[in-house]
Amino acid sequence: MAKTVSPENKVLNFIKSKKIKFVDLKFMDFPGQWQHFTVPTSQIDKDSFDDGYGFDGSSIRGWKKINESDMLIIPNASTMFVDPFVEAPTISLICDVYEPATKEKYSRCPRNIAQKATAYLKTSGIADTVFFGPEAEFFVFDDVRYDSQPNHCFYHVDSVEGRWNSGKEENPNLGYKPQYKEGYFPVPPTDSLNDLRNEMVLKLIDCGIDVEAQHHEVASGGQCEIDLKFEPLVKSADQLLMFKYIVKNTAKLHNKSVTFMPKPIQGDNGSGMHVHISLWKKGKPLFAGSGYAGLSEMALYFIGGILKHAASLLAFTNPTTNSYKRLVPGFEAPVNLAYSQRNRSAAVRIPMYSSSPKSKRVEFRCPDPSANPYLAFSALMMAGLDGITNRIDPGEPLDKDIYDLPPEELQNVPSTPGSLEEAIKALANDHEYLLKGDVFTEDVIETWINYKMEKEIKPMALQPHPFEFGLYYDV
């Protein structure tokens, strides 16, 4: 019988056999961006996966004060991938964050919260695995400029695909510019980014990520989507961060810039991140049944939980002020809280592509790719489990086009919050379901609310907007 090699030894053997020179240690800050530092391979051995590496936690957003700044990261050997963007041979390892004095996982580490969510699911007895399949849309720009000073502010983004460039002298301008709202999905040459997306897909596959499809998206100006195969909660969040890293850096190799900002272009479709979710137990899917759209009673209660807690959920799934410039009627963004089979104008959709029980899932369409996936996925799971535990009825499905409903019917359909501030206030009033199993803590909720209010909502409210000058300069 062949001897099993531990993940740690696999990493060390790979370093030796492939002559790797550096190990890049990546971890997640509180708002939702990867941070990193790099060590030469002489500084990693088997003890490194127990002892970890120290760093200054006071310099990470939303974390420690200066008088308690020492922190520890410990790499997870099973997350290794070869970094395709570093000149010297380098592997990357995703890390967990620890308190150095107690060796306990740090309560504000988003990956720790996702791990606690996974553990809570297993102890609940409802299921043992929750799968997530995110569809993160993004824009590819050729020029990005912005500034905000006391006496001026502006932004300017540009794309060779932008319909606004149809009359530009490009020496030559070949005229292949997707119409507004018609970027889904013309063939090349109108779709000028096919080769770039293919290169992104190949790099994703090389790094161990299963890709289902790539395509152009609806908006003019270089909007794209690459779909990843569903994975368990923590792995799905890990891979979404790898996905962002690989997509951004592949674009940079071609002197292009990728943004996952939800609404960078006025008047055209924004970028969402539809999230597909399913529960399994002992290898069997739990969402398939004989109810509406082939759903089980459990799945319907799961939907009930998401719809009940949707306003507070959006504080994590749509966590930027810009998120709510996408969540407006008319652009396929689901601002109305209802569920439906196939209907893409509903907040929760039940995809009907396949009749296989293994494919039965629910799709929450509100989120966008600015979300911290560890927090967003954990919160979605907790809301759904609350629906199952308390048998929350999602109400009747809405299979009509919600945007065409007469006012007397539409007034009975609840809406998503109109701003980040509304979502944050909803979270302050509705977060008990997140505290079960100590998955989220009061400290995490309070810190998230304070960070968003002090660093984003209040500063944005104080900033004069260029459009206001057109409205009010001559008052």
Active site (annotated) includes residue 365 = yes
Sign of the C-alpha dihedral computed for residues 257, 260, 263 and 267 taken in this order: positive
Residues present in the chain in total:
475
- Distance (Å, whole) CA 280 – CA 236: 15
Residue 457 gets which letter from DSSP? I
Active site (annotated) includes residue 137 = yes
Residue 137's nearest CA partner among 60, 85, 215 is: 215
Residue in 83, 142, 161, 225 annotated catalytic: 225
Residue in 274, 276, 309, 349 annotated catalytic: 274
Active site (annotated) includes residue 215 = no
Residue in 96, 135, 161, 456 annotated catalytic: 135
Residue in 344, 399, 422, 430 annotated catalytic: 344
Residue in 51, 56, 393, 446 annotated catalytic: 56
- Distance (Å, whole) CA 33 – CA 27: 8
Active site (annotated) includes residue 363 = yes
Active site (annotated) includes residue 145 = no
Q: Which residue has the tokens 């998120």?
A: 323
Residue in 8, 29, 137, 268 annotated catalytic: 137
Residue in 142, 217, 368, 386 annotated catalytic: 217
β-sheet bridge partners, residue 228 = 211
Residue in 83, 363, 421, 456 annotated catalytic: 363
DSSP class per residue in 9-36: HHHHHHHHHTT--EEEEEEE-SSS-EEE
Sign of the C-alpha dihedral computed for residues 45, 51, 57 and 63 taken in this order: positive
Active site (annotated) includes residue 349 = no
Active site (annotated) includes residue 68 = no
- Distance (Å, whole) CA 58 – CA 172: 52
CB atoms within 10 A of CB 451: 17
Residue in 108, 361, 365, 431 annotated catalytic: 365
Q: Are 71 and 55 a contacting pair, CB within 8 Å?
A: yes
- Distance (Å, whole) CA 87 – CA 14: 18
* Beta pairing, strands 348-350 & 339-341: parallel
Catalytic residues: 56, 135, 137, 217, 225, 274, 344, 363, 365
